[in-house]
Structure 1
Amino acid sequence: MAPAAGSDETPGEAAYRRIRADVVLGRLAPGRKLGLDGLRGTYGVAIGTLREALFRLATEGLVLAEGQRGFAVAPVSPEDFREVAELRLLLECHAVAASFAAGDLDWEGGVVAAHHKLATLERRLLAGEKADAAQWKRYDREFHQALIAACGSETLLETYAAAYDRFLRYQMVAVVFRGAAAAEQHAALLDCALARDAPRAQRILRDHVEGCVEHVVQAGTLAPFAPRPRVAAQAAPRRAGGGAR
């Protein structure tokens, strides 16, 4: 998700951050048209500022710029979800190897603390308790970021964060919780981090991410957001006899 607001944040940055969070967390549904007049009332900034924020989000793949038709939230599809998942895995698996090799005791403590919060919330979900989806996914995000925090590359961390947010949007739209399987994989990733076992962690990560994708696709929860095919206009029926004489 977008970085937290700072004290010197401009109106344009604030609008970008708020719209981005609403897209990533599914509050702005896939395919929704983003009329500038309506957004101006919601986010309280000028149309020019909104347009700049939306163009910025378009470069991240979260919004579509449709030329003269304006803007819309990027659609979702199983094919795109799989591509986003592969990008996330490419970055995360590389970062995990670097992070496990360089992580120190402070890094280990960060991983343990992040997993503790995530595991506590997962236990509540498994017990049937209601939990805020945004908070649950925030803890999930924090844990995965903690695993790679020692990779030594700010560029890699920033690129991964953007890819993760595109993956997260699918999870929020589909409201997916895979139950014990996901919780067990998180616990196994913690064990890998403490043992510095990067190859095993990479295998678990692939099962973890691909399992989420297949769970969503098989459940069909993306179907309500799929773009509707355009129906060609039917030609007016011709009169018998070839028309007027």
Structure 2
Amino acid sequence: MTDAAFDLGSDDIPALSTGEQAYERIRHDIVFGVLQPGQRLPLDRLKSVYGVGISTLREILNRLAPQGLVVAEGQRGFQVSPCSVTDLKELADLRLLIESNALAQSFQAGDVEWEGRIVAAHHKLARMEQRLLAGDESGTQAWKRYDFEFHQALVSACGSKALLDLHAGIYDRYLRYQMVFFVFWGPTSTEDHKALLDCALRRDAAEAQRLLHGHIHGCIDMALERGLVD
């Protein structure tokens, strides 16, 4: 998940071209459920929403197709990738495989700077989760941003940019399911994150991997039990 996808106006990132801004906005709107699964994406309508021409929109949507966020339908145009239980389970397994591997490497190589990043990321996430537990749902997008930043911090010392990029891409696709179908699952999520923090600080990769498995599949089980995804 790029920072630009969350905050196009940040002073910490370079100014983006109109086309890149449109790309980030469309990607953000798909991931966060503004553009719904299976929704058709007529170019003549999108150009007025995102302020770019049809050729630029076609290029953007073709960029998003290999990421699993858009389906190109040949002469019929484009649609937001539909959601399914099979796809969700595959994404969860991919995320678990990639993140577990990166966790082990990161826990072994992490230094005091890495520990500081984890503690700082967890502090923001825990504060937001307390707001959600109190019934304030106004910060749902910020909560998922902090959730990503925490998991990203955990694996950030793995030493492989390719692995981190792969993790971020899979996380975005998994996040789309969370934003469209999942709801905050309360104290269990908060407890899992605190336990993962403790594992990181004592470098217990095996326990962290076990917790991560339960954390990810617990979300899926909850979604299926509540009939949130078919």
Q: TM-score, normalised by structure 2?
A: 0.94
In the other structure, the counterpart of 1:172 is: 179
Q: Letter of the aligned partner of 1:191 in structure 2?
A: D
In the other structure, the counterpart of 1:233 is: none
Q: Is the 8 A contact 1:121 1:131 kept in 2?
A: no
Which stretch of structure 1 is more off in the superposition, 142-151 or 127-136? 127-136
Which structure shows the bigger proportion of residues in helix conformation? 2
In the other structure, the counterpart of 1:123 is: 130
In the other structure, the counterpart of 1:15 is: 22
Q: Is the 8 A contact 1:23 1:29 kept in 2?
A: yes
SS in 2 for 1:29: coil
| Unaligned runs of at least 5 residues, structure 2 | none
Q: Is the 8 A contact 1:189 1:204 kept in 2?
A: yes
Q: Letter of the aligned partner of 2:38 in structure 1?
A: G
In the other structure, the counterpart of 2:68 is: 61
- CA distance in structure 2 between the aligned counterparts of 1:109 and 1:2, rounded to whole angstroms: 21
In the other structure, the counterpart of 2:120 is: 113
SS in 1 for 2:183: coil
- Over the aligned positions, Cα root-mean-square deviation in angstroms equals 1.1
The structure-2 alpha-carbon separation of the partners of 1:53 and 1:2, relative to structure 1 and needing over 3 Å to count, comes to farther
Equivalent of 2:40 in 15, 33, 36: 33
- C-alpha offsets along residues 189-237 of structure 1, whole Å, 9 cap, x if unaligned? 00000000000000000000000011111111224xxxxxxxxxxxxxx
Equivalent of 2:228 in 214, 221, 233: 221
Equivalent of 1:45 in 48, 52, 69: 52
- C-alpha offsets along residues 5-37 of structure 1, whole Å, 9 cap, x if unaligned? 543422222211110000001110000000000
Total equivalences in the alignment: 223
Q: Is the 8 A contact 1:3 1:17 kept in 2?
A: no
- CA distance in structure 2 between the aligned counterparts of 1:130 and 1:24, rounded to whole angstroms: 18
1:150 aligns with 2:144: no
| Unaligned runs of at least 5 residues, structure 1 | 224-245
